[in-house]
Amino acid sequence: MIVVVLAAALGGLAFGQAENWFPSRWGAADQRGAANRLTPAKVLEAKNFITTGNVYQLGRTYESAMPIFGTRHFSLRIPQAFGPLGSNKMIYHDEVVSGELGQIGTQFDGLGHIGIGDLFYNGNDRKDFAKAEGLQKLGVENVGAIATRGVLVDVAAFKGVARLDGGYEITLADFEGALRKQGTEIHAGDVVLVHTGWGSLWMVDNAKFGASAPGIGLAAAQYLVDHEIVMVGADTWSMEVVPNPNPELQFPVHQLLIPRNGIYIFENLATEELARNRVYEFAFFFAPLKLKGATGSPGNPLAIR
Amino acid sequence: MIVVVLAAALGGLAFGQAENWFPSRWGAADQRGAANRLTPAKVLEAKNFITTGNVYQLGRTYESAMPIFGTRHFSLRIPQAFGPLGSNKMIYHDEVVSGELGQIGTQFDGLGHIGIGDLFYNGNDRKDFAKAEGLQKLGVENVGAIATRGVLVDVAAFKGVARLDGGYEITLADFEGALRKQGTEIHAGDVVLVHTGWGSLWMVDNAKFGASAPGIGLAAAQYLVDHEIVMVGADTWSMEVVPNPNPELQFPVHQLLIPRNGIYIFENLATEELARNRVYEFAFFFAPLKLKGATGSPGNPLAIR
Amino acid sequence: MIVVVLAAALGGLAFGQAENWFPSRWGAADQRGAANRLTPAKVLEAKNFITTGNVYQLGRTYESAMPIFGTRHFSLRIPQAFGPLGSNKMIYHDEVVSGELGQIGTQFDGLGHIGIGDLFYNGNDRKDFAKAEGLQKLGVENVGAIATRGVLVDVAAFKGVARLDGGYEITLADFEGALRKQGTEIHAGDVVLVHTGWGSLWMVDNAKFGASAPGIGLAAAQYLVDHEIVMVGADTWSMEVVPNPNPELQFPVHQLLIPRNGIYIFENLATEELARNRVYEFAFFFAPLKLKGATGSPGNPLAIR
Amino acid sequence: MIVVVLAAALGGLAFGQAENWFPSRWGAADQRGAANRLTPAKVLEAKNFITTGNVYQLGRTYESAMPIFGTRHFSLRIPQAFGPLGSNKMIYHDEVVSGELGQIGTQFDGLGHIGIGDLFYNGNDRKDFAKAEGLQKLGVENVGAIATRGVLVDVAAFKGVARLDGGYEITLADFEGALRKQGTEIHAGDVVLVHTGWGSLWMVDNAKFGASAPGIGLAAAQYLVDHEIVMVGADTWSMEVVPNPNPELQFPVHQLLIPRNGIYIFENLATEELARNRVYEFAFFFAPLKLKGATGSPGNPLAIR
C-alpha cells in the first residue's frame, strides 16, 4: 500500500523494484546498500586504468564563502597558538570547525540522509534509528572504502556547451548519447560522475549556483539503477535536476537512488579537470570519514589514471 | 643564531639540515613540503602492489567517546528531520558537527600545525600567516593527494609483544631491525606507518591511551628524514614517543619532521589489520579535506593490496 | 484517555489539572505559561526588597571542565587576534563557542524543553513545532523578562546539614517546614529557589554531582503549582530529586511543572551566598537570551536586596 | 613612548589620561575596569526609578538571519528528541548552538575584546593572557552584575529624525543638546544608551545596517569618560560612528573606552521602545554570562521604570 502511493508520488514511473523496495536485495538487515557491489575484482578492474600516474582531486575547498544550502553553515577558526612548550619551544596551532559536515561543500550522501516519508533504506523508520547523538542505523561509518572503476559522463560536451542550464534535465537520450560519444560503458559496481559544467559557478556566482541546477532526472537515474552502479556524483549541489520538471516532486532522484536502491550520491565534485582532459574511465578512491551515525561525509575523492 | 639554539634544543643531535633548515629544499615559497616527492612514478610504483584487491581502511570512528587530547572536543548531533517536501514526501536528515577537526581522532598533521618558537615550515613566522579565519600559508588545502607506496613497520612484532609500552622509544636499531625482519625497504616518496599495538587501547582504556605513547624518537625520525619519505603515521595519538626520554623536550620529533623537513604525520591510524595480515607494502591513498587554512585534516586513508 | 494514562504514569497523584492539562489556563494559543503571572505589580513588590543594594549573581561559570549532562559539550576558543587596523592599531579578540547552550551549566528550561510523550505545553505535538532550525512554538524568545519577588527556601539548613544527600526527596513537610523556619511565604507570581547544598560539589566532584541529586518530589512541586509560582530553581543539575523514589518515573517533576503547568525551571544556580547570608526574600531579575526557537537559555540571574 | 605614539594614533586629541593610560585608576592588577564604579548606592539610586513596574527588554533575537559581522556565524539546531524515558514518557529537546557568542547580535564587550596594538586594559600584553582556551585575564566572568541607573540619550529625536544616517558622527554638541532637551544628566556609575534609530534596519535591510553606522565620535566619548560612566550602549552594531570621520582610524572610540578607560560597550540594543515611551532614566539590570575567558557576552538586559 505504501509502495503504491510511492510509485504514484514518484511520477508514475515503473521502477524496477516499485512494488518491493524493501527488504533490500542485500537483505533486511543490510546497512551498506550498493557498497555491497564493491569487490576485490572491482579494485583490480580499477587498477588497470592507472597507466600514467596522474591523480585528480575531486574535492572542492571548504571555506565559509562557499555556496551553502539553506541555513547550514561552515565555520573554521584558528585559535591562539599553544605553547611554547619545552626547551625546544614546541608550538602548535589547531582549528575549530563547525558545520553540517556531511552536507556542505563536496559531500557524500549516505543511506541515512534521505527518506520517503518516514521510511529510509531497507524500510527503516526514522523514529527507530534517527537519534540525537547519531543515526543508530545507516550511519556513514558503515559504507567503507569505495575503490572501484570510475566513469565520467560529460553531458555538457555532448550537448556542445560549456555549462548546461539550471533546471535542465539530462534525459536518458542525453545520457546514453554522451556515453556513446565517449565510447564508454557503465559496469556493475562502478562510480559514475556527471559533468554538467555547473561547477564553473562555484565561488563565482554562488547565488546562481544554488538557485537551480542541471542534472539527471528519473529516467537517467533509473538507467543507473538498472546498471547496478555504486554511486553517482556531479559537479552540482544537488546531483539531480532542480527544480524537477514535475513541480510536485522534490528531489525524487535522491529517493530513487538512496532509499529505494541503496545507491550513493556525491555532490559538488570538481569534475572539470577530468572533463578537460577527457578522462572518462579511471580508478576511483574514496572512503567516507567514519563519523559515527552521520548522514554523510565531506571528502576529497581521487580519480587516478 | 636561531639555528644554533634549535640544534641545542633538539638535544644536540646533528641533523642533516641543522644549520640551514630554511629555506626548504623546495624553495622559500614552497607550501607543500615532502608532498613534492609525490610523482606519477610513485603512483605507478604503488599500483603494482595491488594484486588481490583487498582494501584496508586506516581511519578510526569519530565519536564523542573517543580519546581526545586536552580540552578539544567532538560533537555530532542529528537535528530534527527536514520535510516532508513535495508529493513524493522527500524527507532528509543532516548532522551538525563541531570540533578541532584536523586534530582529533584519526588526524593528518599539515605544515601549519607545528612550529619551533614562532617559526614554521620554510621559516614562516606565525604572526605573518596564522590568522583567525584560517592560515594564510601552509594550509592543508595545499597538500593534495597522497597516492604512493606505503610501508608498514611492525615494531611490536619485532619486539615480540602485542603492544609496546607507553613511553617506549622505538630506537633506530628497533626500526632497522623491524624492517630487516620484514624484508622491507623504505624508498624516497613513501608513506611509512609504524605499528606499535598501542591502538588496542582505543575506546578500551582511553585514559591510558592518552597518558603516554610508544613511538619513534629523534634517531629513527632522522632515519626517515634521510630516506626522504613523505609522511609517517602510527596507531598512537602522538606518533612519536611521549614523554620524550629527554624530559626537557616536548614533541621534538614533530619539529624535526614538520617544520624542519616538511614531512607529514598521521596519527591514530588503524594499523592492526595490516599488521595481522602482514601487509608490509601496499598502495596508499589519501587526500586531506581541503579545509581552507586548516592545520590538518580528519581522514580515512586506504591501504590496498 | 491520554490524560488517564498520564495521571497513572505520574504516580497516581491527584494533580489539580489532571483531567484537563490543556488548553492551558492562559488559552490554547499561549506560549508563555506562568510568565503570564508577571505583572508590573510584581515588579513593584520586588523592588521593595531592595534596601541595601547588595547584588547576588546566581550564575555559575561556563567552562569546559564543568559538570555536563551526557554527551553535551561546551567549547570556547579564542581565535587569533584580528588586526591591527588603522593608524590607531586597533586589534580585537572574539571567541567561538559551541554547545547545547540552553541546557548546559546554569540553565533556564523553557516550555519547549520537556514533553509527555509527544505532547508539550498546551498540548502542542512535537511533530508540529519541533523543527531543525528552531522550535516554531514555545521557543525561549517568548518568555520575556522575569522581574519579580524571589524566595530562597534553604532546605539544607532546615534539615541541619550543609548538603542534602543525592537522591534525597524534599518532601512537602520539609518544604513547608523550611518556609516556616524562615518565616517566608510564597506568593503567586514568585520565583522560588531551593538551596540543597548540592552545588558545593560543582567543580569539586563532578562525577558525584552528576550521578544523582537531592531535590523536590511531586508533592512539593504540586505545592508550588498550587501557589502559582512562575519558576523554581535550585543548586542542582536537575532541580528535582534524581533518581525519583518511584523507579519507573524519569523527571516527573519536570513534566508536572513545564508542560502541565507552564512553570519554568532554573538549574545549577549558585544559591550558596544567599543561603549564607540568609537572604530569603529578594528582587529577582532575569531575562532569557532571545535564542529564537531554543528550548532554554544560559544565564546569570540576579538576586538583589 | 608607547603613549606618545598612541596619542598621535588617536588623532592628536588630548585625552584626559593620554600620558598615563595604565596602570588603571583601579590599580595595575584590576580586571573589572569601570565596573568598580558599581556600588550598593547606585543600586539604590536605580531602584528609585522603578515606579510603574514596566520592564523593557533590550536584547534582540538571536537567529541565523540576523546581521552578523564579517565571517562570524550563529547556528542553532534542535536535535532529535531524547526519550521517551520512564513510564511517564519523559521526552526532551535541547539545542546545539555555535557562534562567536560574545560578539554576535546583542553583545556586551568586555575588557579583553579591544587592544591598542598588543596592549589591552591595564597594559596587559595579549601574548601574556590571550590563550586558546580562554583569556587568562580580563575575561568577561570578572565583570559581575551591572545594576545601576540607566540613561537613554535619544539623539535621533534631538536631530528631529527617525534614524540618523550611516556614518553620521554624534558630536559633543549633539550629545549635550540631546541631554539638555530631555532634561537628563549623566552621573558617575551610570549606564548610558544612545538611540540613533539605526536599529530600525535590523532584519529589514541587513546589508545597509552593517555597511556603516551613526554613532558617537571621540569627543562625545571623551565626555562619557569624563562623566565616569560604566558602560555605553547603542542600537547599532558598532556603537561608535563607522566609518570614523578620520579615515585613518578604525574604531578609535572602542580604544578610548575599553582599554584606556575600562568602560564597557553594549551593541545592537533594542532601544526603540524606550525612545518611543520617552523613558530617559531607568533602573538597568544586566550580568554577563560567566563565559570563562570570553571577550564578551550575549545578553538581554533590562530597563525598568
Nearest CA in chain C to A94: C79
Nearest CA in chain C to D51: C44
Put the strands of the sheet holding C90-92 in their side by side order: C82-85, C90-92, D114-116
More confident residue, D287 or D14: D287
Q: How far is A77 from chain C (nearest CA, A)?
A: 6
Q: How far is A160 from chain B (nearest CA, A)?
A: 31
pLDDT tens across B129-156, in order?
999 999 999 999 999 999 999 999 999 9
pLDDT at res. A19: 57
Q: What is the mean pLDDT of residues A87-111?
A: 98
Question: By percentage, how much of chain D surpasses pLDDT 70?
Answer: 94
pLDDT tens across D163-176, in order?
999 999 999 999 99
- State the residue for C-alpha cell 585575564: D137
The beta-carbon neighbor of D77 closest among B71, B96, B133 is B96
Residue to substitute from B62, B64, B71, B92, interface C, most C β-carbons within 10 A: B71
- Hey, are the CB atoms on B71 and C80 less than 8 Å from each other? no
Give the count of beta carbons closer than 10 Å to the beta carbon of residue C177: 16
Query: Which positions in chain C touch B81 (Cβ < 8 Å)?
Result: 132
pLDDT at residue D13 tops 80: no
pLDDT at res. A20: 82
Query: Which positions in chain B touch C132 (Cβ < 8 Å)?
Result: 79-82, 94
Q: What is the mean pLDDT of residues B109-118?
A: 98
Distance CA(C148)–CA(D209), nearest Å, equals: 35
Query: Which positions in chain C touch A80 (Cβ < 8 Å)?
Result: 77-80
pLDDT at residue C17 tops 60: no
Distance CA(C23)–CA(C6), nearest Å, equals: 16
Give the type of residue at A185.
Answer: E
Chains that touch A (3 or more CB pairs under 8 A): B, C, D
Q: How far is D81 from chain C (nearest CA, A)?
A: 9
The beta-carbon neighbor of C131 closest among B75, B80, B98 is B80
Query: Which positions in chain D touch B79 (Cβ < 8 Å)?
Result: 77-80, 96
pLDDT at residue C19 tops 60: no
Residue to substitute from A69, A73, A126, A133, interface D, most D β-carbons within 10 A: A73
The beta-carbon neighbor of C61 closest among D44, D77, D290 is D290
- Hey, are the CB atoms on A80 and C79 less than 8 Å from each other? yes
DSSP 8-state secondary structure symbol assigned to residue D198: G
Q: What is the mean pLDDT of residues A190-195?
A: 98
Query: Which positions in chain C touch B64 (Cβ < 8 Å)?
Result: 71, 73
Q: How far is B148 from chain C (nearest CA, A)?
A: 35
pLDDT at residue C10 tops 90: no
Query: Which positions in chain B touch A11 (Cβ < 8 Å)?
Result: 88
pLDDT at residue C134 tops 80: yes
pLDDT tens across B7-35, in order?
444 544 444 335 589 999 999 999 999 99
Residue to substitute from B49, B76, B249, B268, interface A, most A β-carbons within 10 A: B76
Nearest CA in chain D to A130: D80
Residue D287 CA from chain centroid, whole number: 12
Distance CA(D188)–CA(D69), nearest Å, equals: 32
Mean pLDDT of chain C: 94
Put the strands of the sheet holding D82-85 in their side by side order: C114-116, D90-92, D82-85
Distance CA(C258)–CA(C111), nearest Å, equals: 6
What is the phi-psi region of residue A11: left when phi exceeds 0, alpha when psi lies from -120 to 50, beta otherwise?
Answer: left
- Hey, are the CB atoms on B80 and D79 less than 8 Å from each other? yes
- Hey, are the CB atoms on A98 and D75 less than 8 Å from each other? yes
Query: Which positions in chain D touch A73 (Cβ < 8 Å)?
Result: 64, 73, 75, 98
How far CA A194 is from CA of A167, A302, B6, B23, in Å, comes to 15, 15, 52, 43
Q: What is the mean pLDDT of residues A6-29?
A: 66
Residues A140 and A258 sit within 8 Å (Cβ to Cβ) = no
Distance CA(A175)–CA(A164), nearest Å, equals: 13
Mean pLDDT of chain B: 94
The beta-carbon neighbor of C71 closest among B64, B71, B131 is B64
Put the strands of the sheet holding A90-92 in their side by side order: A82-85, A90-92, B114-116
Task: Determine the 3-state secondary structure of A74 from DSSP.
Answer: strand
Q: What is the mean pLDDT of residues D66-92?
A: 97
pLDDT tens across C247-268, in order?
999 999 999 999 999 999 999 9
pLDDT band at residue D7 using 50, 70 and 90 as cut-offs = very low
pLDDT tens across A112-156, in order?
999 999 999 999 999 999 999 999 999 999 999 999 999 999 999
pLDDT at residue C282 tops 80: yes
Nearest CA in chain C to D7: C88
Nearest CA in chain B to A93: B113
ipTM of the complex: 0.95
Helix, strand, coil abundance in chain C, percent, nearest 5? 30, 25, 50
* CB-defined contacts B:D, below 8 A: 25
Query: Which positions in chain D touch C133 (Cβ < 8 Å)?
Result: 64, 76-78
Cis omega (within 30 of 0) on the bond before A298?
no
Residue to substitute from D74, D77, D94, interface B, most B β-carbons within 10 A: D77
Residues B259 and A274 sit within 8 Å (Cβ to Cβ) = no
- Hey, are the CB atoms on A75 and D98 less than 8 Å from each other? yes
Query: Which positions in chain A touch D207 (Cβ < 8 Å)?
Result: none
Query: Which positions in chain D touch B98 (Cβ < 8 Å)?
Result: 96, 98
Query: Which positions in chain C touch A96 (Cβ < 8 Å)?
Result: 75, 77, 79, 96, 98
Query: Which positions in chain C touch B79 (Cβ < 8 Å)?
Result: 132
Cis omega (within 30 of 0) on the bond before B23?
yes
- Hey, are the CB atoms on C96 and A77 less than 8 Å from each other? yes
* CB-defined contacts B:C, below 8 A: 32
Distance CA(B172)–CA(B193), nearest Å, equals: 15
Residue B62: all three cell numbers together: 569519530
pLDDT at res. C8: 45
- Hey, are the CB atoms on A64 and D81 less than 8 Å from each other? no
pLDDT tens across C144-179, in order?
999 999 999 999 999 999 999 999 999 999 999 999
Q: How far is C260 from chain B (nearest CA, A)?
A: 24
β-bridge partners, D184: none
Residue to substitute from C71, C74, C77, interface A, most A β-carbons within 10 A: C77
Residue A155 CA from chain centroid, whole number: 17
Q: How far is D214 from chain A (nearest CA, A)?
A: 28
pLDDT tens across D218-264, in order?
999 999 999 999 999 999 999 999 999 999 999 999 999 999 999 99
Distance CA(B201)–CA(B191), nearest Å, equals: 24
Distance CA(B193)–CA(B234), nearest Å, equals: 5
β-bridge partners, C169: C215
Nearest CA in chain A to D97: A98
The beta-carbon neighbor of A71 closest among C75, C77, C133 is C133
pLDDT at res. D19: 57
pLDDT at residue C9 tops 70: no
- Hey, are the CB atoms on D131 and A71 less than 8 Å from each other? no
**pTM for the predicted model, two decimal places:** 0.95
pLDDT band at residue C20 using 50, 70 and 90 as cut-offs = confident
Q: How far is B105 from chain C (nearest CA, A)?
A: 17
Chains that touch C (3 or more CB pairs under 8 A): A, B, D
